[in-house]
Structure 1
Amino acid sequence: MLTIGYKASAEQFAPSKLLDFGILAEQAGFDSCFISDHFQPWKHTDGHAPYSLAWLGALGARTSKLVMGTSVMTPTFRYHPSIVAQAFGTLGAMFPGRVILGIGTGEGLNEVPSTGAVWPEFKERFARMREAVTLMRQLWSEERVTFEGTYYRTEKATIYDKPEQMVPIYVAAAGALVAKYAGRAGDGFICTSGKKPELYTETLLPNVAAGLEAAGKPKPNYDRMIEMKVSFDTDKQRALEDTRHWAALALSPEEKMSVEDPAEMERLADALPLERAASRWMVSNDPEELVERIGTYVALGFNHLVFHAPGPDQARFLTLFGEHVAPLLRRRFG
């Protein structure tokens, strides 16, 4: 079964306007809605960075069936894992079966300014994430948790408002090591579209499969989620121009990973030509052609497609996509 989701652009819109878009997504027939958990946005001018957990609570209260979650949160620096477990325990208790915790190893743009911490190498970030997952699941399933890890500790900790069922943890990965962990320890896997095809076919998906095999137990409901960067409009030039708002996505990992200042991120993105800004996006005004391009990802095995539109008029995108593209996707892929 194909799941169609909406990516709420937290870095682009004020929280109240973004909430309207999330509500409209449910009305337009989307199945899920995910929001980034950024302390700082990708750009300084007109940027936004609402607190994702407060926003998810508001979205849950204003919708009835929309599945919602973070894409992605880093439960290891700004937050102690026990606080993340408490927050998602509350969300899971309030909105049972509708909440997903999407996590990643983090970026300096979010973690350094808010903590003043020295940004560690990947090895430590990955180790912290694994330990956080272990601790959070213990807190959701056990009564009194005394935990002594390398990075985190608790002393007879209890989550009093537990979710009715274990909150699914989806792991975002851009490389082989974390992809394998996502399969072995996660309930789902998250990545983004627009990369070289061999990254999905030779690195990410094979390692997710290897991790699932290593888990030693079947996961029939395992979700392979991908954020689809789509700029769709009936006006092709408008769809192309809309990608300027998210030019930062076209920066390479090497160009942006160590950037900790949104003003500097904005400067780097603004320097990119339109052709490069649009390179990470499927730009189209033809629903049939767009569905064909999206279908290449479905054929790879992705079953949860979360669509991120770059333009300022998100209501227009949700309406047009819901009317012209989503029905084609469902008819073709189930």
Structure 2
Amino acid sequence: MLKLGWKAGPEQYQPNELLDYVVAAENAGFESVDVSDHFHPWSEQGHACFTWSWLGAAAVKTKSIELGPGVTCPILRYHPSIIAQASATIDNFAPGRTYLAVGTGEALNEYSAAGMWPGYDERQSMMLEAMQLIRALWSGAEVTFDGIYYSTQKARLYTPPLSKLPIYVSSLVPESAAFAGRYGDGLITVANDPNTLKQIVKNFEEGALDMGKDPSTMPRLLEVSVAYTDDFDSAARCFKEYWAGAMVPAMFNERLYTPAQSAKNGSVIGNDILRQKLCISGDPEAHVKFVQQFIDMGFTHLYFHSAGPDQRDFIVGYGRDVLPKIRQQQAQTVTA
């Protein structure tokens, strides 16, 4: 089941430039792409295009790479029926290679754009209802839905998806992972300390078993931050400039979490933290070793996120030198 993908960051790049990179990623051998869906970037120097427009462009520019948001929040900025329609349209452009990944959002995006920010438990309940409505609309049937949070009246997708789309559910902490197992078709999270990740996987599997599902058949997606270079200072500078705010998850729920506040909080991230969380090395074997720990935990889809300093060089070099070694090691493991 192992898939090796590329993380597209619209928080860092203009949409046209990012589109060139997804084509390069497909040509370099990456099998999948996940793209953030943000209204605001993590820093004031960043960008934030409309991800669903970008996914449509990426779908028609590519031929084989799998596409989806990593992740979208279908409950506040959007009505779930709009996400159902958007994802169905992407699947018409790229049938069989489209997925939907959802999460409960961040105040950085939802409160700023919609002026609403309920507590976590309520947002999780909203997301469950949103997922139920999205799946109902994907059927192409007429849907009159009367939920606690959302309603439709004889709503129908006249261009339904051509494929059976999976919904992967985000879990950044162990406490939400059982929900992902119960109600999602898979899990999506980000690289964290090993004990936290192992507990997330454990709770996810238990949640799936609670619903009579076989967790061994369910994809587990993981975003892994790397830089394929020996220039630690340049790579660290790029991560701090554009992404350090994302490394302070305790702040995600703050109502006034603006790009400026995100950058301020991210500025406390030191090089020692980056060394713990990232693999910054020009040695392919170092990356293979770094990745193997996550494969051993049971993750099946890995998305490599590199902040720079040169995205194209990373895509080409990683595809040439690192991805084949990871695949070779997995092939040897399977046949051993």
Q: TM-score, normalised by structure 1?
A: 0.94
What corresponds to 2:323 in structure 1?
326
Cα RMSD, aligned residues only: 1.7
Deviation at residue 312 of structure 1 after TM alignment: 3.5
Equivalent-residue separation in structure 1 for 2:274 and 2:42 (angstroms): 14
Q: CA deviation at 1:268?
A: 2.1
Mark the runs of 5 or more structure 2 residues left unpaired by the alignment. 332-336
Question: 1: distance between equivalents of 2:70 and 2:301?
Answer: 13
Aligned-partner residue type, residue 305 of structure 1: L
SS at match of 1:312: coil
Give runs of aligned pairs for residues 46-85 of structure 1, distance below 5 A. Answer: 46-85=45-84
The 2-side partners of 1:224 and 1:126 are apart by: 20
Residue 207 of structure 1 aligns with which residue? 203
Is the contact between residue 107 and residue 252 of structure 2 (CA under 8 Å) also seen in structure 1?
A: no
Partner SS state of residue 154, structure 1: strand
Answering whether residue 11 of structure 2 is matched by residue 11 of structure 1, we say yes
For residues 35 and 115 of structure 1, the distance between their equivalents in structure 2, rounded to whole angstroms, comes to: 21
Amino acid at match of 1:128: M
Q: CA deviation at 1:257?
A: 3.0
Residues 284 and 240 (structure 1), Cα distance of their counterparts in 2 relative to 1, 3 Å cut: farther
Aligned match of 1:145: 143
Deviation at 1:279, TM superposition (A): 4.0
Q: Secondary structure at the match of 2:47?
A: coil
Query: CA offset at residue 248 of structure 1?
Result: 1.9
Instruction: Please list the CA deviations of residues 167-215 of structure 1 after superposition, one character each: whole Å capped at 9, or x if unmatched.
Output: 111101023343112122211100111x2211122x2111111122122
2:228 is aligned with 1:232? yes
- Whether 1:188 and 2:186 are equivalent positions in the alignment is yes
1:248/1:266 contact within 8 Å kept: yes
Q: CA, structure 1 residues 234+277, in 2 after alignment: closer, same or farther (shift >3 Å)?
A: closer
When residues 61 and 120 of structure 1 are mapped into structure 2, their CA distance, relative to the original with a 3 A threshold, is same
Correspondent of 1:166 among 158, 164, 167: 164
Aligned mates of 1:236, 1:265 — CA distance in 2: 23
Displacement of 1:3 in angstroms is: 0.3
Cα pair 1:231 1:243 within 8 Å, conserved: no
Aligned length: 329
Q: What 5-or-longer segments of structure 1 have no aligned partner?
A: none
279 and 249 in structure 1: CA distance in 2 versus 1, 3 angstrom threshold? farther
Question: What is the one-letter code of the residue matched to 2:229?
Answer: D
Q: Which residue of 2 aligns with 1:30?
A: 30
Calculate percent identity across the aligned residue pairs: 38
Seen in structure 2, the aligned counterparts of structure 1 residues 255 and 94 have a Cα distance that, compared at 3 Å, is closer
* TM-score scaled by length of structure 2: 0.93
1:288 maps to 2:285: yes
